[in-house]
C-alpha cells in the first residue's frame, strides 16, 4: 500500500469519526412531534375525561378530541445533532430553538409547573365558557395565588384570599384590581379588603415600584369561579392551555341532549377565555398530524393558526376556522345537519 493511499484512508477514517462524534454532540434544540389525542367525551384509563356531578347529563356519541404535541430535548436532556437532522427532514416534525419551549430565565421544572397551572386554569375557563354559552349562571371572584417574597403583600395576603375590593372599589376581575393598584404612586398606601376562611379582613399595603416602573404590591391573582355544580376534568399528564376549546365543547355535549358531533370524529385545539374567545396555540401542524392518524376528518382550527395550518394539512382533513366557542357550536350544528357552508381556513 502506497503512502498516499494510507494517508487517504487515515484521513477518511478521521473524517468519519469526527462526523460520528459531531452527530452525537448535544444541540440546543427541541423536537416537536405529534402527541396523543384524548376524546373529551370519552374515557382515559377507565375514567371519564369530563365528569359532572350535581347536574343532569346526557349520553352522546362520536368524538370531540383534544390534541397534543410531544417534545424531545430541553435543559439537561438535549438532543444530538443527528436527531435534529432527522427532524428537519420529517415534515410531520418541527425542530425549534430550545428557548422557544424553555425560556432562558426558567428551568425545566418551572416550565412543567407552569404547564400544569395553565392546564388547571384552562379547565376552569373552559367550564366558565361552556356555562356562559349555555346561559347557566355562575359567579366569580378574584383570588390570591401567591405573594412575592420580600414585597409588600408578603406575609399579609395569603393564597386563597378572595379579594373583595381595593380602596372600596369592588374587585370585578383581575385586571381591574391591578389597574386600581397601579393608579397609586409608588410609596402610597392601598387598602385591600379580602375574605379569608369566610371572614372579612382589610389589609393596608404600601406600594413599591415594580421592574416595569409601575406601582405594585407583589401578588399573583387569578379568577376563581363558583359553579352551580361540579365539573372534573381528567387528562393524565397533559399540560398547557391549548385544550380549552375542546373541554368547553365536551362539557356542553354532556349537558345537552343529543350528540353535538352527529357521531363524527371531530378534533380541534385552541385556548379559551371565560367569555368564549378562542386563541391560537403552538404546534398546530404536529397536532393536525396526530389527529388525522387517529381518524379525525374535521379539525377545529383557531383563526390565528390558519395560515400555519394551511402549509401542512394532512390528506383527508378538513379545517374549520374557529374564532369563538359560539362559532364552534354553529359549525358542529352545520356538520351534524349534513350541509351548509362552514368557515374555512383560507390563505391571506
Are 147 and 267 within one domain? no
The domain boundary residue, chosen from 169, 194, 226: 226
Contact criterion met (CB below 8 Å) for 243 and 272? no
The answer on 182 and 163 residing in a single domain is yes
Last residue of one domain, picked from the residues 170, 205, 226: 226
Q: Give dist(CA 95, CA 88) in Å, integer.
A: 6
Rg (CA), the chain: 25
Structure-block grid coordinates of residue 139: 359567579
Put residue 341 in one of left, alpha, beta given phi > 0 → left and psi -120 to 50 → alpha. beta
Residues 60 and 148 in one domain: no
Burial of residue 229 (CB within 10 Å: 0-12, 13-18, 19+) is middle
Whether 38 is covered by a domain: the verdict is yes
* Catalytic choice (63, 156, 254, 287): 287
Considering the domain architecture, whether residues 268 and 333 belong to the same structural domain is answered as yes
What values do phi and psi take at 132, rounded to 5? Answer: -60, -45
Q: Is 327 a catalytic residue?
A: no
Q: Is the dihedral of CA 334, 340, 344, 348 positive or negative?
A: negative
Kindly state whether residue 16 falls inside one of the protein's structural domains. Answer: no
105, 235: one domain: yes
Whether residue 196 is found in the same domain as residue 57 = no
∠ CA 203-209-211, nearest 5°, is 125
Same domain assignment for residues 177 and 247? no
pLDDT digit string, tens, across residues 129-183: 999 999 999 998 899 988 999 999 999 999 999 999 999 999 888 888 999 999 9
Residue at 157 is within a domain: yes
In the chain, helix, strand, coil percent, each to 5? 30, 30, 35
- 77: Cβ contacts below 8 Å, ≥ 6 apart: 108
Calpha distance 348→340 (Å, rounded): 23
- Domain CATH number, residue 148: 2.30.42.10
Q: How many separate domains does the chain show?
A: 2
Please report the pLDDT score of residue 175 as a whole number: 85
Q: Quick check: is 287 catalytic?
A: yes
* pLDDT given for residue 23 in this prediction: 47
- Residue 189 neighbours by CB distance under 10 Å: 11
How far from each other are the two terminal CA atoms of the chain, in whole angstroms? 65
d(CA 168, CA 176): 13
Residue 109 domain-assigned (yes or no): yes
pLDDT of res. 16: 46
Cβ proximity of 192 and 102 under 8 Å: no
Distance of CA 108 to the CA centre of its chain: 17
Q: Is residue 13 part of a domain?
A: no
Of these residues, 242, 248, 254, 321, which one is catalytic?
242
pTM listed for this prediction: 0.78
| Phi-psi map region of 48: left, alpha, beta (phi>0 left; psi -120 to 50 alpha) | beta
DSSP tag of 62: S
Give the structural domain span for 181: 139-226
Q: What is the mean pLDDT of each run of 10 residues along the chain (348 residues)?
A: 53 49 60 85 90 95 90 69 68 71 64 68 91 94 90 93 92 88 92 94 93 88 90 80 92 95 93 93 90 93 93 91 96 86 81
Element (H, E) at 33: strand 29-39
Domain-ending residue, one of 175, 208, 226: 226
Give me 328's grid cell.
364552534
Sign for the pseudo-dihedral over CA of 164, 166, 168, 172:
negative
Q: Say yes or no: 75 and 86 in one domain.
A: yes
Verify that 122 and 145 share a domain, yes or no.
no
The answer on 233 and 131 residing in a single domain is: yes
What gap in Å lies between CA 40 and CA 267, rounded to an integer? 10
Q: What is the pLDDT of residue 25?
A: 60
CATH of the domain at 67: 3.30.230
The pLDDT tens digits of the residues spanning 97-133 come to 777 666 666 566 666 676 667 777 888 899 999 999 9
- Residue 10 counted as domain residue: no
Is 156 in the same domain as 252? no
What separation in angstroms does the CA of 119 have from each of 50, 90, 218, 242? Answer: 14, 29, 24, 8
Both 163 and 190 in one domain: the answer is yes
Q: Could you tell me if residue 20 is inside a domain?
A: no
Tell me the three state secondary structure of residue 237. Answer: coil
Length of the chain: 348
Is residue 21 in a domain? no
Amino acid at each position: 500500500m502506497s503512502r498516499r493511499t494510507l494517508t487517504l484512508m487515515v484521513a477518511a477514517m478521521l473524517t468519519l469519526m469526527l462526523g460520528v462524534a459531531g452527530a452525537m454532540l448535544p444541540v440546543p434544540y427541541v423536537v416537536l412531534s405529534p402527541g396523543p389525542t384524548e376524546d373529551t367525551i370519552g374515557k382515559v384509563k377507565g375514567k371519564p375525561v369530563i365528569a359532572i356531578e350535581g347536574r343532569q347529563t346526557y349520553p352522546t356519541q362520536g368524538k370531540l378530541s383534544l390534541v397534543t404535541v410531544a417534545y424531545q430535548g430541553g435543559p439537561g436532556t438535549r438532543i444530538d445533532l443527528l436527531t435534529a437532522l432527522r427532524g428537519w427532514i420529517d415534515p410531520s416534525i418541527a425542530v425549534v430553538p430550545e428557548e422557544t419551549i424553555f425560556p432562558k430565565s426558567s428551568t425545566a421544572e418551572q416550565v412543567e409547573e407552569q404547564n400544569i397551572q395553565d392546564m388547571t386554569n384552562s379547565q376552569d375557563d373552559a367550564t366558565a365558557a361552556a356555562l356562559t354559552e349555555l346561559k347557566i349562571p355562575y359567579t366569580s371572584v378574584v383570588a390570591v395565588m401567591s405573594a412575592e417574597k420580600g414585597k409588600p403583600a408578603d406575609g399579609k395576603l395569603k393564597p386563597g384570599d378572595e379579594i373583595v375590593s381595593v380602596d372600596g372599589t369592588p374587585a370585578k376581575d383581575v385586571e381591574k384590581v391591578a389597574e386600581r393598584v397601579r393608579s397609586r404612586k409608588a410609596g402610597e398606601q392601598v387598602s385591600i379588603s379580602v375574605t379569608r376562611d369566610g371572614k372579612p379582613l382589610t389589609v393596608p399595603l404600601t406600594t413599591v415600584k415594580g421592574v416595569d416602573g409601575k406601582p405594585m404590591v407583589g401578588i399573583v391573582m387569578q379568577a376563581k369561579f363558583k359553579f352551580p355544580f361540579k365539573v372534573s376534568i381528567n387528562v393524565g399528564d397533559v399540560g398547557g392551555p391549548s385544550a380549552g376549546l375542546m373541554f368547553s365543547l365536551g362539557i356542553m355535549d354532556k349537558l345537552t341532549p343529543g350528540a353535538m358531533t352527529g357521531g363524527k370524529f371531530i378534533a380541534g385545539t385552541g385556548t379559551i377565555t371565560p367569555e368564549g374567545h378562542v386563541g391560537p396555540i403552538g404546534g398546530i401542524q404536529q397536532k393536525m398530524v396526530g389527529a388525522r392518524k387517529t381518524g379525525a376528518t374535521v379539525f377545529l382550527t383557531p383563526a390565528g393558526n390558519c395560515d400555519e395550518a394551511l402549509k401542512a394539512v394532512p390528506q383527508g382533513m378538513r379545517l374549520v376556522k374557529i374564532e369563538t366557542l359560539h362559532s364552534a357550536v354553529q359549525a358542529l350544528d352545520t356538520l351534524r345537519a349534513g350541509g351548509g357552508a362552514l368557515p374555512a381556513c383560507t390563505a391571506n
